[in-house]
Amino acid sequence: MRRHNLGTLLGHVHHNGEISRAALTSRMRLNRSTIAALVAELESLGLVEQRTPSGARSGAGRPSLDVRPGRIEAFVLATELRVDEITVARVGLGGQVLARASGSTPVSRDPEQVADALAVILTKLAAEAPARSRLVGVGVGIPGVVSDDGGLVRFGPNLGWTDVPFVRQLADRLDADVEIRAGNDADLGVMSEHIRGAAIGHDNVVFLSGDVGVGGGVIAGGRAMPGVGGYAGELGHMRMNPRGPVCRCGNRGCWETEIGAHAVASAVRFPHGDLAGLAARLASVRRPNDRLRTVGRSLGAGLANIVNIFNPEVVILGGVLRDVFPVVRDDVLSAVVKGALAAPGEQATITLPDLGADSVLLGAAELAFEPLLEDPSAVLERR
């Protein structure tokens, strides 16, 4: 119980960056002395520190102390693994990105080679951290179907992976006694947007991660929707057209064949495999051509399905869809209005991530922080 409360309190500090003891008392529904004792324990671990808020009035009544991340400078290493690029960040307790690095995904996409490349980047980034700081977890966002416990990539068609024990492969290469957790990229995207971004305060949210493949992360009724095995949300494989092109999954006409990065690149006659370049190219489009508008209409038609299926408040377009949407906005939205039933259509907003390109990366950071927020002292006792 105490362990649980310690973690929950640390979670409030993490999600808010800095929070008053008064706010902790009301949010956790515990009395002031219990909160004070929990804060003291986290302070003795070095995870938080207390200070008098800068705006506090002098005179009558003591102001409530603010609690914020402490001298240990706990951080995680977060990774977004994409088909052509690996992005990594060092993220501190409180959610700030402290440093970044990136590299190309090995062209072979062989899991061992990918683990090699990622381990090099992670090790370098960890080595650059101040000596007093402390690594507390590693999180990886993966474009594929990841098992419930995060250990196994069951299916990553665009990486060519099937049943890859990527977490173990990465652990073998990292010299750090911390937990490594992996998750589906879109599931992580919706998590971070829900905690820190465009979906704060919303209980029914769909996040789309658009890369070569398109994944979906869903929050329904305020909670993640993993399905029985953690595989839910494979929205990119909705069949949109029985005569459509063949998808990497083997079927015809999956949504991602119509709106994924390859379809988008073809529409603007840009080479496949350079997502950063594709984003720049899309940003320079003044008037979308017919093929790009077709992508927009297909995006809208699938979004209408999503609106009819989930009745969400917000649908967030991540990855390449973030770059596509502004260019063909009218085509997308008119297809949504046409395809969605009136009642759920009225309630849904289609929007871009508040965290920009970082939704998945910051979701991987949240995943990496989970062990610390479940049991702060146990994580610090390791090594």
Residue with tokens 């960056």: 17
Q: How far is the CB of 323 from a copy of itself (least distance, A)?
A: 24
Among 186, 208, 240, 367, binds a copy of itself (CB under 8 A): 240
Q: Which CB atom, from 307 or from 365, has the smaller least distance to a copy of itself?
A: 307
Among 241, 266, 351, 377, binds a copy of itself (CB under 8 A): 241
Alpha carbon distance 21, 66 (integer Å): 6
| 155 contacts a copy of itself (rule: CB under 8 A) | yes
- Residues 6 or more apart whose Cβ sits within 8 Å of residue 280: none
Q: How far is the CB of 336 from a copy of itself (least distance, A)?
A: 12
| 246 contacts a copy of itself (rule: CB under 8 A) | no
| 96 contacts a copy of itself (rule: CB under 8 A) | no
Alpha carbon distance 143, 159 (integer Å): 8
Cα three-residue angle 104-100-373, rounded to 5 degrees: 115
| 233 contacts a copy of itself (rule: CB under 8 A) | yes
| 216 contacts a copy of itself (rule: CB under 8 A) | yes
| 312 contacts a copy of itself (rule: CB under 8 A) | yes
Alpha carbon distance 199, 315 (integer Å): 9
| 332 contacts a copy of itself (rule: CB under 8 A) | no
- Residues 6 or more apart whose Cβ sits within 8 Å of residue 207: 186, 189, 190, 193, 199, 216, 217, 218, 315, 316, 318, 353, 359
| 213 contacts a copy of itself (rule: CB under 8 A) | no
> To 10 degrees, what angle do helices 329-339 and 290-310 make?
40
- Cα separation values, 69 from 26, 43, 54, 232, 378, Å: 20, 9, 16, 34, 18
Among 23, 101, 129, 220, binds a copy of itself (CB under 8 A): 220
Look at residues 171, 109, 107 and name the one whose alpha carbon lies nearest to residue 138.
Answer: 171
Among 72, 129, 238, 380, binds a copy of itself (CB under 8 A): 238
| 20 contacts a copy of itself (rule: CB under 8 A) | no
| 160 contacts a copy of itself (rule: CB under 8 A) | no
Amino acid at site 58: S
Q: How far is the CB of 103 from a copy of itself (least distance, A)?
A: 28
Among 56, 195, 231, 357, binds a copy of itself (CB under 8 A): 231
Part of the chain binding a copy of itself (CB under 8 A), chosen from 58-66, 71-79, 220-228, 266-274: 220-228
Amino acid at site 239: R
Q: How far is the CB of 217 from a copy of itself (least distance, A)?
A: 12
| 5 contacts a copy of itself (rule: CB under 8 A) | no
- Cα separation values, 43 from 12, 27, 53, 147, Å: 15, 20, 17, 36
Alpha carbon distance 24, 174 (integer Å): 36
| 204 contacts a copy of itself (rule: CB under 8 A) | yes
The token pair at 315 is: 């649908």
Among 35, 135, 159, 235, binds a copy of itself (CB under 8 A): 235
User: How many residues form the binding site for a copy of itself (CB under 8 A)?
Assistant: 50
Among 338, 356, 378, 382, binds a copy of itself (CB under 8 A): 338
The token pair at 138 is: 């590693």
Alpha carbon distance 371, 137 (integer Å): 7
- Cα separation values, 300 from 211, 290, 338, 345, Å: 17, 15, 9, 12
| 270 contacts a copy of itself (rule: CB under 8 A) | no
Alpha carbon distance 28, 71 (integer Å): 24
Binding map of a copy of itself across residues 129-148, x = CB under 8 A, - = no contact: ----------------x-x-
| 221 contacts a copy of itself (rule: CB under 8 A) | yes
Q: Which CB atom, from 159 or from 235, has the smaller least distance to a copy of itself?
A: 235
| 344 contacts a copy of itself (rule: CB under 8 A) | yes
Residues that bind a copy of itself (CB under 8 A): 145, 147, 154-155, 162, 202-204, 216, 220-221, 223, 225-235, 237-243, 249-251, 301-302, 304-305, 308-313, 338-339, 341-344, 347
